[in-house]
Amino acid sequence: MKLKNKISVVTGAGQGMGRTMVQHFVELGAIVYAVDVNAQALEETVKDLAGKAHAVVCDITNEAAVTALMARIEQEQGHLDILVNNAGIGSMDSFLDTPLETWQRVINVNLTGAFLCSREAAKLMVKAGKGSIINFSSTGALTGEGPSHYVASKAGMMGLTRSTARELAPSGIRVNSLVPGATDTPMMAGIPQEWMDSMIAGIPLGRLGTTIEIARVVAFLGSDDASFITGQNIAVNGGMAFY
């Protein structure tokens, strides 16, 4: 199997793309630490995965919690092969009406959390001389479409990817961004129908993406099949943007 015995961390694993990635990684042979702040949602994610997925309640914006998570993985597994920085939040506030608290919360989860997880995961990967980090960005980071706080956080993910890809390459660590377009997830439920209709109208393939379509590409990037790919933005968006 493509990910046989690959020790993996997937953040934001309680629902949507994160849940599907955990399940798909296990199908491909990985041992997965499914990370989220919602314990009940995590249990739903891992309940049928026969001990191949470990539910870990962790606030990725808490430096001590992230450090403890990676220390646990090192103690239990000895190394880490794959980190997927999928956790993300947003809101529908317009730029002029965005409270500072909302801005800080979105940046903290979407970007700072990824920084903390990447930094601590990379310390393990450097010891092993290999590893793969996949950051979740967004098509909006390039088109500018979407709430400013969310778009800014996802543009930051692209910068984090490029910088760390260069710095960590000599240690055998690859870093890429997965750039999904509009995907059918619970996060989309709060979007007004007229926005949804307009969004789908702008997708040449004429539909939303599915979480398994995202998970398959992430699994590829984490696998040895992608051993010469680093520093890239990999778009999975149905043709809604080209770059």
The residue ranges of every structural domain in the chain are 7-233
How far separated are the first and last CA of the chain, in Å rounded?
32
pLDDT of residue 222: 99
Q: Is the pLDDT of residue 187 over 90?
A: no
pLDDT range class, residue 240, cuts 50, 70, 90: confident
Chain CA centroid to CA 216, Å: 13
Q: Which residues contact 151 (CB under 8 A, 6 or more apart)?
A: 138, 140, 141, 144, 145
Q: How confident is the model at residue 3 (pLDDT cuts 50, 70, 90)?
A: very high
pTM passes above 0.85: yes
Averaged pLDDT, 214-223 = 98
Q: Is 33 a catalytic residue?
A: no
3-state secondary structure 57-110: ECCCCCHHHHHHHHHHHHHHHCCCCEEEECCCCCCCCCHHHCCHHHHHHHHHHH
Q: What is the pLDDT of residues 103-130, one digit of tens each?
A: 999 999 999 999 999 999 999 999 999 9
- The yes-or-no verdict on residue 132 having pLDDT over 80 is yes
Q: What is the pLDDT of residue 243?
A: 63
Opening angle at CA 111, ends 35 and 19, nearest 5: 30
Q: Which of 25, 33, 136, 150 is catalytic?
A: 150
Residue with tokens 């699994």: 219
* CATH for 7-233, options being 3.90.76.10, 3.40.430.10, 3.40.50.720, 3.30.565.10: 3.40.50.720
Mean pLDDT of the chain: 96
What is the rounded CA–CA span in Å between residue 86 and residue 17?
8
Q: Rounded to an integer, what distance in angstroms lies between the CA atom of residue 165 and that of residue 175?
A: 5
Taking 80 as the threshold, does the pLDDT of residue 167 lie above it? yes
User: How far is the CA of 61 from the CAs of 65, 114, 210, in angstroms?
Assistant: 8, 8, 28
